[in-house]
Amino acid sequence: MSMVDSSVERVETVTVIGAGSMGHGIAQVFAMHGYDVTLVDVDEDQLVTANERIATSLDQLGEDRLAVLDRLTTTTDQAAGLSGADLVVEAVPERIELKREIFEAADRLTPPTTILATNTSTLPVTEIADVTDDPERVVGMHFSNPVPLMEIVEVIRGEATSDEVLETAIALSKDVGKTPVVVEKDVPGFILNRINYAFWSEALRVVDDGTHDFEAVDAANRRLGFPMGPFEVLDFAGIDVFYMVCQALDDRDVPVVISETLEARVEAAAYGMKSGEGFYDYPAPGEYERVDISMERSQEYDPWQMIASAVNAATWLVDEDVATEEAIDTAMLTGMNWPQGPFAFAGEYGYDRIVDVLQRLYDETGREQYRPHDRLIEMAESEGPDGVAGDDI
């Protein structure tokens, strides 16, 4: 039985393992909200870079840089960083064995009242928690990048996560100014990356088969109100990161087709903004510049194909009791800056038309992601004359 209670007031000290962009962003946010934070990484240079980037971010946000940095300690000594923590947040790369190794150490070196959270974006929390003696105190807290700016935290219940730990993770997310979205069932990819795969893989498919190029697809998405097209987002987030997401889903028997275009970029080390080139070119590695896309090309591709694929994935999540429609729409609004969530889009376009698009794509490609979900078909059949699905679904 977990010894953790659900009082957020009992969490005063936070240790973040991993000082990459996610890790130092998480450390910054907790320090900004009054927590004493220890940032741990095996690489001293990474810690120096993290401190510099945190300082720059604090200045840009108008925060009291000295006061926040005074609450932040860095160390390469993992044992020392873990020993006094009330909350541990692991934020290392998406490699299951690396994460399990860290959780094994955290389980051994922290008091039994310490909450152990993983920032994994895709890997099941249960697989990570299995190496601990008390998996009840393990929870998913997936922040979105850049952490200081993005509102969402996906709070994921592992198979053994206690109610107290889940409630505390929700409360902590709110306490650092975030919107928690609860993922009630531990499936690979959770909400964000399950839908991101469905959405982005359709964009990659039409580039793979030569039907459209990525600029036309991005222009079409901007026409729908997205601040960035899918290829712009992939460049910003890291093409290699999404490639690892695809591999993680594929390894866990999620129906995935890994794009040839994506693989080619990864093999060429063209990861996007961080490498200076991806689908687009950038002034220098790590230097972002908004891409100039001609909106004259916005009619060449039908972006509702991407929306339909996303709606199908979202419907599966609801049917499997992973999350509610409201939680899913909130996740895509706050986590991916969508102009509205997939179910809001479906209500606007019409569930019957969404099903028609999916059926056409399924007939053309045979890909499982396009097979209209039974629940979605029912929603389309119960749709009223005003284009809104009935309340009985």
Residue numbers annotated as active site: 121, 142, 154, 193
User: What does the DSSP 8-state code read for residue 185?
Assistant: S
pLDDT at 383: 74
Tens digit of pLDDT for each residue in 88-99? 999 999 999 999
Distances in Å between the Cα of 331 and the Cα atoms of 336, 342, 344, 351 are 7, 10, 12, 20
Q: Is 277 helix (H, G, I), strand (E, B) or coil?
A: strand
Give the other-Cβ count within 10 Å of 104's Cβ: 15
| pLDDT band at residue 387 under the 50/70/90 scheme | very low
* pLDDT, the chain, mean: 95
Give the integer Cα–Cα distance in Å for 117 and 128: 10
| Average pLDDT, integer, range 37-46 | 98
Give the integer Cα–Cα distance in Å for 357 and 302: 10
Is residue 140 a contact partner of residue 124, using CB atoms and an 8 Å limit?
no
Q: What is the pTM of this model?
A: 0.92
Give the integer Cα–Cα distance in Å for 70 and 160: 36
Is residue 6 a contact partner of residue 164, using CB atoms and an 8 Å limit?
yes
**Region for 366 from its dihedrals, namely left if φ exceeds 0, alpha if ψ lies in -120 to 50, beta otherwise:** left
Cα 40–chain centre separation: 22
Q: Is 212 helix (H, G, I), strand (E, B) or coil?
A: coil
Q: Is 170 helix (H, G, I), strand (E, B) or coil?
A: helix
Tens digit of pLDDT for each residue in 282-301? 999 989 999 999 999 999 99
Contacts of 195 (CB under 8 A, 6+ apart): 310, 313, 314, 317, 328, 331, 332, 342
Tens digit of pLDDT for each residue in 352-369? 999 999 999 999 999 999
Radius of gyration over alpha carbons of the chain, in Å? 21
Ordered domains of the chain (ranges, CATH)? 8-183 (3.40.50.720), 191-393 (1.10.1040.50)
Distances in Å between the Cα of 80 and the Cα atoms of 22, 84, 104, 111, 228 are 21, 8, 15, 13, 42
- The backbone torsions φ and ψ at residue 272, rounded to the nearest 5 degrees and listed phi first, read 115, -150
